[in-house]
Structure 1
């Protein structure tokens, strides 16, 4: 379920939405590293910034999902998406998968806006990734026929570790993680259909 054995071309063909997300955030990370004044200004205009949102810059609730602070941040989140997102794209289909992913990220950023100070700045896909775990948690609790016991135990273990690390590590947008998790769980009631087949 979480083991990737596909080659590059097969991965893109089977999981186009996941591949697109990985490509977009990688290209944006490289782009934002260009030492060009206009690029730097653009980067400042699209990061998550609560005061900007308060001033009507609503896109800041969306764009941070695809931006990352450093290479390690990008690599860790990309690996998480690479491992855990394909199974959900296969289960839900491209449209519902993207709804859960982007929707959870937005919910995480909205939660950040309402719970953090106006000078709070953030970027990263973690809220959306936690949304994916919210879908898996929903299946573990309510749709046991979709996921076997071994994978259920793995999901619960990974989720517990991820939540603990959220509170242990510094420079973590805790609210995005928690609201993203809840967002993915709630969106599952709309996106996980009765006709889905088991992994």
Structure 2
């Protein structure tokens, strides 16, 4: 695309190539050193921003990617289960992988971190699940809450909140002395925390409606954790607190447009997640074989 500009000094007409800023999607000149709207450095250098934006610009693609990664890790954990699949009559343990396979694939807690020094498991544990109901409930919760967070924070901040809330929740769980733990619920609780922050901060009828609805979810999760044994309440609480803190630090769309730093951090989170999961699969197969 070209736009025609007229220089006021001598009346000469020059042509400058225009493009959409990869960050704010506004029309800017390709040779601008910085986007005048959002401050993105060298918006014309598409190659530089491609790594940071690939897979994070589409709401549908991002949600599908997260769910697909969870499902693939769950299937791999089932394949690695010794003695075949567990077809227990108890629905909570139906199609559950064994603990050794989960440990090799990146379960986190004091056992894998203190004994095996698997600090990377703070990321991988969010993509492992202990049974068919476990993963189904977590993925349904993700599909329900993530569109709201993407709408109010954007895909990049949503993925940052999801990733780092899982890390924050499991880190608190580790500090509390939980031996071994897995599941996407800490990351999902981070999204719930960000929705609570948004609703309370925004106010008005819309904000209050979100605050009441999502606050009810948070209360339900807390009650469920008290009633049902084996629930990692430390991870849930830590994930929710991390989501609130990240939302405060990064802001939301109505107050803070998506900045280059948000995109950069999202790219780092995506690279760290992909690299960690590949490393977990490689090491698990190595020790398994």
TM range (shorter): 0.7 to 0.9
User: Does the 8 Å CA contact 2:250/2:256 hold for their aligned counterparts?
Assistant: no
Structure 2 distance, partners of 1:173, 1:66, is: 15
TM normalised by structure 2 equals: 0.58
Secondary structure, aligned partner of 1:28? helix
Deviations 1:121-172 (A, max 9, x none): 1110111111111101111222225944333321122221111112111110
Q: Name the structure 1 match of 2:190.
A: 131
Structure 1 residues 69, 177: CA separation in 2 closer, same or farther (over 3 Å shift)?
Answer: same
Residue 154 (structure 2) aligned to one of 81, 93, 98: 93
Residue 144 (structure 2) aligned to one of 73, 79, 83: 83
By how many angstroms is 1:101 displaced? 0.4
Unmatched 5+ stretches in structure 2: 1-56, 83-96, 258-289
Unmatched 5+ stretches in structure 1: 1-11
Structure 1 residues 132, 77: CA separation in 2 closer, same or farther (over 3 Å shift)?
Answer: same
Deviations 1:94-121 (A, max 9, x none): 221111001000000100110025xx11
Structure 1 residues 131, 14: CA separation in 2 closer, same or farther (over 3 Å shift)?
Answer: closer
Runs of 4+ more than 4 Å apart:
39-42
User: Does the 8 Å CA contact 1:15/1:90 hold for their aligned counterparts?
Assistant: no
Q: Name the structure 2 match of 1:19.
A: 64
Q: Name the structure 2 match of 1:49.
A: 109
By how many angstroms is 1:35 displaced? 4.5
Residue 141 in 1 paired to residue 186 in 2? Answer: no
Residue 172 in 1 paired to residue 235 in 2? Answer: no
Secondary structure, aligned partner of 2:121? helix
Instruction: State the superposition RMSD in angstroms.
Output: 2.3
Q: Name the structure 2 match of 1:71.
A: 132
TM normalised by structure 1 equals: 0.82
More helix by share: 1
Structure 2 distance, partners of 1:182, 1:116, is: 18
Higher relative contact order (CA 8 A, sep 6+): 1
